[in-house]
Amino acid sequence: MYYKKVNIIQDTKIFKELNAIMNASDDGIFVTDGQGCVIYLNKACERIDNVKAEYVIGKNMKDLIASGYYSESVALKVLEKGSVVNILQTTINGKEIMATGTPIKEN
């Protein structure tokens, strides 16, 4: 099988399609980089976590925990362990949610 390497940020069509797919999910999708900085969250995550993407994107999870947006971070735990992690975390609105973090590593 052949896969074309694409710079997703530069390919607007693919970016729009992937964004539409992610936003069609009823599950919250929250993505951080390898340092724990938020790079994406979908609309369901905004609703579930009661946060706006514009506020959290670009912020580090350590700072969001310190400011009370989350009780803990599954992303930071994944970065520590290097494997799949499941936790119960509390959001800023007091809602307790099951969060699963999965590491995605470049080949």
Provide the pLDDT for residue 19.
86
- pLDDT under 70: residue ranges of the chain: 1-11, 107
Provide the pLDDT for residue 9.
54
3-state secondary structure labels for all residues of 60-87: EHHHHHHCCCECCCHHHHHHHHCCCEEE
Helices (H), strands (E): how many in the chain?
5, 4
First-last CA distance in the chain: 17
Please tell me the pTM assigned to this model. 0.82
Alpha carbons 53 and 69: distance in angstroms, whole number: 12
